[in-house]
Amino acid sequence: MIPVRGVNGARVAVLGLGRSGLSAARSLRAGGAEVLAWDDNAAARAAAEAEGFVPVDLTRASALEGAAALILSPGIPHLYPAPNPVVAAAWAAGVPVDNDIGLFFRSLATDDWEVFESPPRVIAVTGSNGKSTTAALIHHVLTAAGRDSQLAGNIGRGVLDIAPPGEGGAVVLELSSYQTELARALTPDIAVLTNLSPDHLDRHGGRGGYFAAKRRLFAEGGPDRAIIGVDEDEGRFLANQLAEAAADDRVIRISSGQKLTGPGWSVFARKGFLAEWRKGRQVASIDLRAVPGLPGAHNHQNACAAYAAARCLGIGPREIERAFHDFAGLPHRSQLVAEAAGVRFINDSKATNAASAAQALAAFPRIRWICGGLEKEGGLDALAPHLGHVAKAYVIGREAASFALHLRDIPHEICTSMASAVARAAEEAAPGEVVLLAPAAASFDQYDNFEKRGEDFIAEVRRRLAG
């Protein structure tokens, strides 16, 4: 655990007692704070009470009186589409609003760091798609290289739950836009933006607000190195803003699909090959085509980002390549579930928006596509270039018929349930085809989260193949 610094004797309110909120409450208490903990969910309050916290209803008038700060869990809106009433009350009372990420960055460094020859480094990864895989891959490469590394944030543990890193240690964080938007301190040593596509638009007041939330990771603390995906205008804009000159190698541009030229530092993947260029010449390359845990162009972009981060930490190209081959991938992200009679079953339940689903569709030549769910703002236009890979779509979700209207001339079948979709896709799939779950939609119409949806797909595939 990392105790929060600068709160001894202070009253600090925590709204939302899920994983990050309860973690923040523990660390605040360890730092000497009096914690005012609240969650509208009775089960969450009971879990906090079991750990010795006394719930204080923060929705009551004057509940924040004397509070030094309000710590907000990421799922609670603080501005759009409307601020939570407790947040509005904090504004009115002049109480600073922060989150666990802000507490982490202000509390990580201790007096012990002054005697370290090699201080710990923090690598923070954000982006619309691929940030979980990229963060996990960086952590895997560091661990394989014998470095002390911890993975936390939006993946794995809460940021305040990790052990204080020792000399030469690394902390790899996956950060969502909800986390970067609110944190009052953001000071990573290396910051990564994988890509940007429309997502969470209602929460951020549109695409501009969404990008602004991501941009804070680079603008607030000024990382030593910025690794930026430049396949979208926002990434090109950000890289241009941060670089002082064309040869400024504090900014590393990455891409999947385009060759990057110029005197600066770049890492890109084309036709399955990763290339590192510095000062106008190629210095290393890796054949990604045979790396089983990183299939498809979207994973090659993740590999570029992870490679660049590892190089910033002094790890050599061949050592990185060996670690890539040992990477098993993450559940629900291009996860090979089974292969039978020449048909592969791939679980990409994490493809919760059109852009991420488009990347999954682009990775395989002929697909039986299971899609549908709760549609997000931004539409499904990003799918259009890759629909030619789809032999047939099997649509799930409560609004399956409405979702199917976006499929144009693609053969499709309204299945509604996962069991029906898997059964029909498996019956009709031919050798060489892939049955792919890549919903292009959120899961909340039928499941608690994308993990539950992916687990249901896995269970139905295994039941089907066992029968």
Can the peptide bond before residue 188 be classed as cis, meaning omega within 30 degrees of 0?
no
Which residues does 341 contact at the CB level (< 8 Å), separation at least 6? Answer: 431
Give the pLDDT score at 378.
65
Euclidean distance between CA atoms 15 and 26, whole angstroms: 13
127 is in an annotated binding site: yes
Q: Could you tell me what percentage of the chain is helix, strand and coil, using 3-state DSSP and rounding each to the nearest 5?
A: 35, 20, 40
- Is 160 within 8 Å of 104 (Cβ atoms)? yes
pLDDT at 156 over 90: no
132 is in an annotated binding site: yes
pLDDT digits (tens, 9 = 90+) for 217-261: 999 988 999 999 999 999 999 999 999 999 999 999 999 989 998
Give the pLDDT score at 331.
87
End-to-end Cα spacing for the chain? 47
Predicted confidence band of residue 28 (pLDDT cuts 50, 70, 90):
very high
Give the pLDDT score at 76.
94
**Domain 105-326 of CATH type 3.40.1190.10:** yes
pLDDT digits (tens, 9 = 90+) for 340-373: 999 999 999 999 988 889 989 988 999 999 999 9
pLDDT at 423 over 80: yes
Give the pLDDT score at 210.
94
133 is in an annotated binding site: yes
353 is in an annotated binding site: no
Q: Which residues make beta-bridge pairs with 285?
A: 275
Give the pLDDT score at 10.
98
Share of residues in the chain with pLDDT > 90 (%): 83
Euclidean distance between CA atoms 194 and 40, whole angstroms: 34
214 is in an annotated binding site: no
pLDDT digits (tens, 9 = 90+) for 457-467: 999 999 999 87
pLDDT at 279 over 90: yes
Lookup result for tokens 């600068």: 6
Euclidean distance between CA atoms 228 and 418, whole angstroms: 37
41 is in an annotated binding site: no
* Counts for the chain of helices (H) and strands (E), in that order: 15, 19
356 is in an annotated binding site: no
- One of 3.30.70.1290, 3.90.190.20, 3.30.930.10, 3.40.30.10 is the CATH number of 335-466, namely 3.90.190.20
- Is 346 within 8 Å of 334 (Cβ atoms)? yes
Share of residues in the chain with pLDDT > 70 (%): 99
- The CATH number of the domain covering residues in 11-98: 3.40.50.720
Strands 343-347 and 434-437: parallel
Where do the domains of the chain lie? 11-98, 105-326, 335-466
Which residues does 415 contact at the CB level (< 8 Å), separation at least 6? Answer: 370, 394, 395, 396, 400, 421, 424
